[in-house]
Amino acid sequence: MIRFTIRRLLLTVPVLLGVATLVFSLLHLVPGDPALAMLGESASASDVEELRERLGLERPLPAQYVQFVTGLVQGDLGTSFRYGTPVAQEIGQRLPRTLELAAAAMVVAVCLAIPLGVLGALFRGQAIDQAAMTVSLIGISMPNFWLGPLLAIVFAVMLGWLPVSGTGTWRHLVLPAVTLGTALSAVLARMTRASLIEELRELYVLAAQARGLSKRRAILGHALRNSLIPVVTILGLQFGAVLTGTIITETIFAWPGVGRLLIQAINFRDYPLVQGCILFIASIYVMVNLLVDLAYGWLDPRIRYE
Amino acid sequence: MTRRLGIGIIALTVVSAVVGPWVVPHDPQVQWLAHRLEGPSWPHPLGLDELGRDILARLLVGARISLFVGLSVVSVSASVGILIGSFAGYVGGRTDNVIGRLMDVLLAFPGILLAIALVAVLGPSLTNVVLALVSIGWVGYARLVRGQVLKIRELEYVQAARALGAPVSRVLWRHVIPATLPSVTVQATIGMAGAIIAEASLSFLGLGVQPPTPSWGTMLDAGRAHLFDAPHLTLFPGLAIALLVLGFNFVGDALRDQIDPRTN
């Protein structure tokens, strides 16, 4: 297991370096002068020159790259053009809100997905199964930038039960979490169904029933538990989709997280902040994938020797 | 049943997008400011938007944009992905390794994050949206094709072609790539849904098609400011996106079940 862990860690390093290189090159993809693009056409030549110097654009490209990577290793993501504060500090302030939203969305997804998937598997091929899977396909197809406003119209505008934006109480969290969790629940429901169907074919389920266990206990107590292993893996792998989803969900509900910070940074052409947010989200995604891989290797020894 | 429904939705959207703008009596850009935000009525079945423009006329023009983005992103991504993936899988060795690492880096960006980043620096426009979505889209196809080619290249008919002295390009073009097409077709159908949602997401965030061009995502974004007083601005464009995406997902799902019955 130690060798497997070290090997996976070493494989992650070039990926992270590649991500950093791609994010570094973003600033140099800006058409024309990035400093002029950030300040606007009306900026004076001296202001543009000063910003170019501050961003280090005067230096040769390899030197800029080395400084960028060295900074990253030290936890320095640069300085925000808009706020004048370290990018890492801006992200750090908003990170708890994003994690809170992502965690709540995952809870919502699991609570919706497991019953739907179990129903589909138990009534396989019947009307209930088809209905459950159609509902899940509708969930996948419904974009969160539509579902969010729809939920807001019904539960905030028409019924007045929940606030339409902001933070502070659990009531503020409900609509964003349901918006973000619905598509994930659809993916998980299909996975739960497929996995449980596989598990129900196993002889131990039949053996449990032969020993006098009710069908319900054999399924819920034994087959379902085993079928959840791949579901948990998918849940981990879908964390990336949840992170990307927060960008839109936070924008809809004015949720003060990293996703909203990214969109605000784009609107203000705050490129260091854009780079920082992109790099941060991608790095979290890579690390979560690494953890899922390690967990999988721990659960299933065959993976370690592949 | 769902496959037929899916085909029906897609066909209806295509027909509406092609002939709709000529059939609907209103220009999508003409403004009736005195009637702005008015709900559905006989002359304007889906109502008027925040500038008094006919929502139905704008939805029909928006359908063209969605279908154009979907088709161009999927066709270019699939072509690039097939070429790179089949070459990497067939040749193997160092080439495969280098391409594999590049794909790992691109896959390290979740969802449309890289597309958001690219459009943020290149500037919002329809061309840049397509470019950004292609730059992340090809990886999925390349990975799928590469995996299949690793198996196909060991099959006897491929080895026979190689033994007869056929060059790599001919073996790939005549024998290997055609065998990967069923899976690519499934991925492309589901990819259409993904590209349509991605374009709408970018436009919703103000990073895609720019006003006054009517894109479904831009229309939804404009509707956000009128959730309380004119919910129809949000309702209809969202419904159009969801239905078209559902149509492609229905068809993609049915195709996948046909190709690999184990998934059903």
Q: Which of chain A's residues have a Cβ under 8 Å away from the Cβ of B201?
A: 143, 145, 248
Q: Looking at residue A141, what is its pLDDT?
A: 80
Give whole-number Cα distances, B89 to A80, B71, B121, B176, B191, in Å: 43, 26, 33, 10, 22
Residue B74 has pLDDT above 70, yes or no: yes
Q: What is the DSSP string of A212-256?
A: T--HHHIIIIIIHHHHHHHHHHHHHHTHHHHHHHHHHHHHHTT--
**Interface touch A145/B231, C-beta < 8 Å:** no
Domain assignment present for A6: no
Tokens describing residue B138: 């090809």
**Mean per-residue pLDDT for A232-237?**
80
Domain assignment present for A72: no
Q: Looking at residue B23, what is its pLDDT?
A: 83
| Chain A, chain B: beta-carbon pairs less than 8 Å apart | 134
The pLDDT tens digits for A114-145 are 999 998 888 888 898 888 888 888 888 888 88
Q: How far apart are CA B114 and CA B136, in angstroms?
A: 7
Q: Looking at residue A142, what is its pLDDT?
A: 86
**Interface touch A271/B123, C-beta < 8 Å:** no
A189: domain range?
95-270
Domain of residue A203, CATH code: 1.10.3720.10
Tokens describing residue A80: 């925000």
> Which pTM does this prediction carry?
0.87
Q: Looking at residue A306, what is its pLDDT?
A: 55
B173: helix, strand or coil: helix
**Mean per-residue pLDDT for B162-175?**
90
Quick one: closest CA in B to A130, which residue?
A: B2
Interface test with B, best of A142, A146, A249 (most B CBs within 10 A): A146
Domain assignment present for A193: yes
Composition of chain A by helix, strand, coil, percent to 5: 80, 0, 20
Please name the member of B102, B105, B110 whose beta carbon is closest to the beta carbon of A244.
B110
Lowest mean pLDDT among A70-79, B150-159, B249-258: B249-258
Domain count, chain A: 1
Q: Looking at residue A250, what is its pLDDT?
A: 94
Domain assignment present for A170: yes
The pLDDT tens digits for A202-230 are 888 888 888 888 878 888 888 888 888 77
Q: Which of chain A's residues have a Cβ under 8 Å away from the Cβ of B231?
A: 153, 157
Cα angle vertex B205, ends B199, B211, to 5°? 80
Judged on CB neighbours under 10 Å (0-12, 13-18, 19+), B13 is buried
**Mean per-residue pLDDT for A155-182?**
90
Please name the member of B120, B207, B249 whose beta carbon is closest to the beta carbon of A141.
B249
Domain assignment present for A304: no
**pLDDT band (50, 70, 90) for residue A303:** low
Q: How far apart are CA B84 and CA B151, in angstroms?
A: 16
**Interface touch A241/B110, C-beta < 8 Å:** yes
Interface confidence (ipTM) of the complex:
0.83
**pLDDT > 90 fraction of chain A, expressed in percent and rounded:** 31
**Interface touch A252/B224, C-beta < 8 Å:** yes
Domain assignment present for A77: no
Domain assignment present for A203: yes
**pLDDT > 90 fraction of chain B, expressed in percent and rounded:** 51
Q: What average pLDDT does the structure give for chain A?
A: 87
Domain assignment present for A254: yes
